[in-house]
Structure 1
Amino acid sequence: MSRAFSLILFVLAVVLIGMLIGYATLPGEWYASLNKPSFTPPNWIFAPVWTVLYISIAIAGWRCWVRDRNSTAMKLWFVQMSLNFLWSPVFFGAQQPGMALVVVIAALAAVLTFIAAAWNSDRLAAVLFLPYAAWTAFATALTAGVVYMN
């Protein structure tokens, strides 16, 4: 498989899985009825932000994949991706903000650990995760706010 083809597969897989989970767990009346922190962005911002982040996440994962599929960074990439994909079904699908807070804290830890693991072997992959780490920290604060206010 060529490098370009495998990159395209990574990007398509991450973006499409993220989109499918997003569409399957759209915020509904339950979410609208929740008290939310004052810094909650409008709903329309999430899709474009996540699309850009998913592309960066995919590129970082692909870089680790082509470098060493069995590396610690690659294993952490899969862990954080699993946790990322789990958050929406737990929060919106199961309507369990407390459990979603546990998931997002674990996801943030996995993202930060990925950055640390990739920093020396692939600085670009690590840097590509910095906006994702910031957004995940923001998502952690939002989720904590919802838990606290409800």
Structure 2
Amino acid sequence: MTSFIPSITLPGFIFEQPAASILLPVLLGSGVGFAMRPKETQKTYMALKQPPYRPPPQIFGIMWPILYGLMGFSAYRAWTTGMNTFDAHKTQLAKQGATLYTIQLGLNLIWMPLFFKYQRPIEATVDIVALTGVTGYLTYVWGQVDEVAGWALAPYLGWLCFATYLSVRVTPLLDTIVCTDMINPKAGVGYLNDWDLAGKERPTSTKTHSTKYVDEKDA
């Protein structure tokens, strides 16, 4: 069980202020996204072979600010509830969750550079699996402190599970549960692209040197 580790945990005053708690992950996440150049990441995304049910790239720009905001709201609720209760166990859980929250935020922020900038799908997959696990445990911990805080993390956790599916191959169990014809048990961005994200454009004209991404249909 992860304990409260002040040296690697965001300062308590961030969690105490609702604006700071909500805006911090939104601003950090948006900053990383813009640093990765959205147009370039969209091109890379479209160039990759994708498993079924992949969303259009535009949806990520809508979903992530909402999820980051809910994440920050959950942190505010759990921390203030835990710090203003006479239940010592809830106080300890709130502090423990703050450490888990900081860890998951770090794992979240490094995924995009790993995947898009450094094109390291294996490391990015390890990162998102760890991120999903830590967030799942955080949801459980903070849910014991404040139900609203736990439910506020539920959409984020659900999205991470879906993102993990997109990153790794789907297990035969999932294939059996859903439908064999609907999901390829080896469908995942990493697997489908041989764990190599480089050079996914293919030439369409030797004269113009233009390229077409693998998901685009031939004219």
Residues 104-119 of structure 1: pairs in structure 2 closer than 5 A: 104-119=128-143
Alignment match of 1:10 (pick from 21, 25, 41): 21
Q: CA deviation at 1:50?
A: 0.7
Contact 2:22 2:69 in 1 (8 A): yes
* Amino acid paired to 1:95: Q
Contact 2:45 2:57 in 1 (8 A): no
Secondary structure at 2:160's aligned position in 1?
A: helix
Residues 22-101 of structure 1: pairs in structure 2 closer than 5 A: 22-25=33-36, 26=38, 27-66=41-80, 67-68=82-83, 71-101=95-125
User: Which range is displaced more, 129-138 or 26-35?
Assistant: 26-35
- Which structure has the higher relative contact order (CA within 8 Å, separation 6+)? 1
| Residue 192 (structure 2) aligns with | 149
Distance 2:106 2:98 in 1: 12
Contact 2:42 2:57 in 1 (8 A): no
RMSD, aligned CA: 2.0
User: Which range is displaced more, 122-131 or 29-38?
Assistant: 29-38
Structure 1 gap ranges (5+): none
| Residue 214 (structure 2) aligns with | none
Distance 2:43 2:66 in 1: 27
Bigger Cα Rg:
2
Q: CA deviation at 1:89?
A: 0.9
Please, what TM-score do these two structures have when normalized by structure 1? 0.90
Secondary structure at 2:144's aligned position in 1?
A: coil
Secondary structure at 1:36's aligned position in 2?
A: coil
Distance 1:17 1:90 in 2: 16
Secondary structure at 1:40's aligned position in 2?
A: coil
Alignment coverage as a number of residue pairs: 148
Q: Following TM superposition, where does structure 1 have runs of at least 4 consecutive aligned residues deviating by more than 4 angstroms?
A: none
Query: What is the aligned-residue identity percentage?
Result: 30
